[in-house]
């Protein structure tokens, strides 16, 4: 944080938080000024000025074991939720590739619930370069695709069997590998040419009548499947 603007009432409510903030300048403002600093209908009375959060691609992908690689994700709620899920699953990084939502969009940051400050996030204009960087770093690229040749539930079963000392076939080891999950646009999914760059396409089984899952929900299932398999090894 560089600077904090706070109302007198918020000073009392966030006294412990402000007392533990090392470095930033704290400026008192009235309610009218606070309203001009935030888009929230009922602001909390505290606004912080922070340095930009995004990092270069080459700083976050090498050495990672679990990455969410989001291509053309436009909805700030989805992007923020994926950042939060990556953090919760113990993932190492998120990449927002292509014509993606701004990481610093207020809705993205709110949806991340603070995880944007914990998990490194790279912004890369070229999705192909992002996939190539993941593969160059030794990550297996798995594309979440409703028409994928592999079934996520079957991969999870194979990973459990392998962890128990059963069959150690390629399917059993797949989810436990260092992985970048390639996630596509909310409305159109992954571009065929981009999906073709993945090592495998993985579908999430739909047992009911829904056509598909929300992007953030699908990302949660994929990331946690890999995180669980990696921790079993």
pLDDT at position 20 over 90? no
Asked if residues 176 and 159 have their Cβ atoms less than 8 Å apart, the reply is yes
Q: Which helix (H) or strand (E) holds 26?
A: strand 25-28
Rounded CA gap, 23 and 53, in Å? 18
Find the mean pLDDT for residues 148-173: 85
What percent of the chain is predicted at pLDDT more than 90? 77
pLDDT (0 to 100) of residue 14? 86
In whole angstroms, what is the distance from residue 116 CA to residue 91 CA?
12
Does residue 96 have a pLDDT over 60?
yes
How far is residue 233's CA from residue 139's CA, in Å, rounded to a whole number? Answer: 17
Q: For 171-186, what is the mean pLDDT?
A: 93
Label residue 197 by pLDDT band (50, 70, 90): very high
Higher pLDDT, 220 or 26: 220
What is the set of domains in the chain, with CATH numbers?
3-49 (no CATH), 57-232 (3.40.1280.10)
**Cβ distance 154 to 87 under 8 Å?**
no
How many Cβ atoms sit within 10 Å of the Cβ of residue 126?
12
């Amino acid at each position: 944080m560089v600077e904090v603007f706070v109302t007198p009432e918020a000073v009392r409510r966030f006294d412990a938080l402000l007392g533990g903030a090392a470095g930033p300048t704290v400026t008192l403002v009235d309610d009218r000024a606070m309203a001009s600093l935030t888009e929230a209908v009922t602001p909390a009375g505290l606004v912080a000025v922070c340095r930009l959060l995004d990092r270069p691609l080459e700083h976050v992908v090498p050495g990672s074991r679990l990455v969410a690689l989001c291509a053309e994700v436009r909805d700030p709620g989805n992007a923020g939720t994926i950042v939060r899920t990556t953090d919760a699953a113990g993932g190492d990084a998120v990449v927002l590739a292509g014509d993606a939502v701004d990481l610093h969009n207020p809705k993205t940051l709110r949806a991340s619930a603070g995880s944007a400050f914990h998990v490194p996030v790279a912004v890369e204009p070229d999705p192909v370069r992002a996939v190539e960087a993941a593969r160059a770093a030794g990550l297996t690229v798995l594309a979440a695709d409703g028409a994928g040749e592999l079934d996520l539930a079957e991969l999870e079963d194979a990973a459990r069997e392998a962890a128990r000392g059963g069959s150690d076939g390629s399917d059993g080891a797949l989810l436990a590998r260092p992985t970048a999950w390639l996630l596509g646009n909310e409305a159109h999914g992954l571009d065929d040419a981009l999906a073709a760059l993945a090592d495998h396409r993985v579908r999430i089984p739909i047992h009911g009548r829904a056509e598909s899952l929300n992007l953030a929900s699908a990302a949660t299932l994929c990331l946690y499947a890999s995180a669980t398999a990696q921790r079993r090894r």
